[in-house]
Amino acid sequence: MNTAWAKEWTANFANPDKLIDMYADDAQFEDVIIAHKESGKAAIHKFFVAAGNPAYAENTITAVGYCGNADGGVVEWTWQAKHAAGKILGVPAKGKETNTRGVSVLTFTNGKIATQRDYWDAAAVLRQLGAIK
């Protein structure tokens, strides 16, 4: 895996059906910030479809870089969102835009994502939503 792979991976967040092809059948996903876990390709796909629902937000995730090898590594990325409805971390987000940075810690099995743990800057999002200074 390399930066070109990471850019393809983040570009695929706009198409969860294509994105999920990059995961092993028994993959494990965790968004550490929101304490959310999913197990297995079908459950992860369902989560990505819901998270990317344009009725709630227009999301753009862009890879900044990759550090690692074919066994595992870290993708640094940015997440930009134009929120159409709903809340983020319990804070109303409708009509607002947020931009934050994060990383995904990945392991691979046979070229597919086996585990993914995401960490992102929630404080930046909360500042942009006006919840904290």
Q: Where are the domains of the chain?
A: 3-128
**Cβ atoms of 98 and 81 closer than 8 Å:** yes
- Which of 50, 49, 64 has the alpha carbon at shortest distance from 12? 49
pTM above 0.85, yes or no: yes
Q: Is 46 helix (H, G, I), strand (E, B) or coil?
A: helix
Which of the 8 DSSP states describes residue 89?
T
What percent of the chain is predicted at pLDDT more than 90? Answer: 83
Which of the 8 DSSP states describes residue 85?
S
Q: Which CATH number fits domain 3-128: 3.40.50.720, 3.10.450.50, 3.40.190.150, 3.40.50.300?
A: 3.10.450.50
Confidence class of residue 33 from pLDDT cuts 50, 70 and 90?
very high
Q: In terms of DSSP bridges, do strands 36-39 and 23-31 run parallel, antiparallel, or are they unpaired?
A: antiparallel
